[in-house]
Structure 1
């Protein structure tokens, strides 16, 4: 059953007493960053940007966790990658953040905030809300990721290599999330 003041799915599933909110947040941020890292391993290799489930995980976590916890989760993930842990699709290290795919990775912070706020506002409760939030997040990824990629390959190639191949997959990811999140909320109703 959902907590009456729950604004996110994470709060509805696990709303601890105030004293244990920090350990809960740490646990969820670490678990979420592990999920993002694992989802990066589900991929179709392409150059310069592989198709992965990593963006799906970031978007889903943002909707389910809300902006603050999603920012912490993505921040942990990016820090782990910057420190060299192999949490990105191609490995880890600062070179990934500075290389052609860096804009896509850094966009996760913007997604965590924007899509997380959408989750806090109830967008994760309906099929249309989730779809709109997922597509908004995908647009952020495209703008930041392809914008950064264009510095390496030019704008035309950035669109051809960094946006067009991902459109169908991102629509499928949005449909999957639109099926999962509202169903999860429905299971929590009395």
Structure 2
């Protein structure tokens, strides 16, 4: 292999990685923008998108997709749930949901590592571990905005039913995608 071939392969790999990270960020954005009526609170598909990506790609790509999403949001691109057309960037990230966003960044590569080579149940358990990371980071930050006595009732309890449904769906989608890859 010549130096030119090596350079060309590296360039292809970098462009492919960038494309996958941006596609992942776009999917996360779509998930954040889609709201589904649910009880006790309406839910977005943000968690589903992050967890599906994390269980479907390697840990570096999962982290890159989430980091790309956060970078776009920090620059004011309206990627976050509930943001206006012109996004509000870092101000949104420093608000009550900022810890959950950090939790997604931490959970994505962890889920990816734990889900590799697993079936539906193994992926779902990996996502459950990731959800605990998201909730822990989210609650730690939310404590700056909500009294401790109301923290769990505000930051976790209303979201658990929807998040469990999203984990089941994301695990099923990731398992199906893996089967398709194996057949190809």
The corresponding residue for 2:108 is 112
1:155 aligns with 2:148: yes
Report the Cα offset of residue 18 of structure 1.
Answer: 5.7
Offset at 1:21?
A: 1.3
Deviates more, 1:49-58 or 1:143-152: 49-58
Q: Distance in 1 between matches of 2:152 and 2:50?
A: 22
Where does residue 51 of structure 2 map in the other structure? 59
Task: Kindly indicate whether the alpha-carbon contact (under 8 Å) linking 1:58 and 1:112 is maintained by their aligned counterparts in 2.
Answer: yes
- 1:88-107 aligned within 5 A: 88-91=80-83, 92=87, 93-107=89-103
In structure 2, which of residues 149, 166, 170 is the aligned counterpart of residue 173 of structure 1?
166
Which residue of 148, 170, 175 maps to 1:182?
175
The equivalent residue for 1:11 is none
- Counterpart residue number, 2:79: 87
The root-mean-square deviation of aligned C-alpha atoms, in Å, is 2.0
The count of residues paired between Structure 1 and Structure 2 equals 169
Larger Rg: 2
Gaps of 5+ in 2: 1-8
Shift in alpha-carbon separation, 1:44–1:183, aligned structure 2, 3 A: closer
Q: Does residue 146 of structure 1 match 2:142?
A: no
What SS does structure 2 have at the residue aligned with 1:164?
coil
In the TM superposition, what is the alpha-carbon distance from 1:45 to its structure 2 partner? Answer: 8.5
Structure 2 distance, partners of 1:188, 1:65, is 11
Q: TM-score, normalised by structure 1?
A: 0.81
Which ranges of 4 or more aligned residues in structure 1 deviate by more than 6 Å? none
